[in-house]
Amino acid sequence: MAKHEMKALEEELRELRQRVEKLESLLAAAKAVPPASHASPTKEVEQGFSHEILLVISAAVAAFLGKRASIRQIRLSGESPWAMQGRATVQASHGIEFVRGRR
């Protein structure tokens, strides 16, 4: 392996370690916050979302965006994946041709 490739890999590894350390510190800070300060935990429990689920979702959003974000709404779609896929297949099978001047 070339010397410049090794340096590039070492730099990438260093950046990944820094990113993991930052995310771990954010997670530790999130665990230190008492649950009462989060936005209306009773509303989430009524909808079937526990406090832990909200923490996991917010951690995933933060990891994806690279910064902390507030979650305003979470809702489950009432459709099954089979129904959605079937609907997509039916809609994709309709070939609509557009001929100029004809309707």
65-83 tens-digit pLDDT = 888 877 777 777 677 888 8
Single out the residue of 15, 11, 86, 74 nearest to residue 41, CA to CA: 74
Please enumerate in sequence order all residues whose Cβ is within 8 A of that of 61, keeping only pairs 6 or more positions apart, or say none.
69, 71
Label residue 17 by pLDDT band (50, 70, 90). very high
Residue 41 in tokens:
């935990």
* Phi, psi (rounded to 5 degrees) for 44: -65, -40
What does the pLDDT average to over 72-99? 77
The greatest distance separating any two alpha carbons of the chain, rounded to the nearest whole angstrom, comes to 67
18-68 tens-digit pLDDT = 999 999 888 888 887 765 544 554 444 455 677 888 888 888 888 888 888
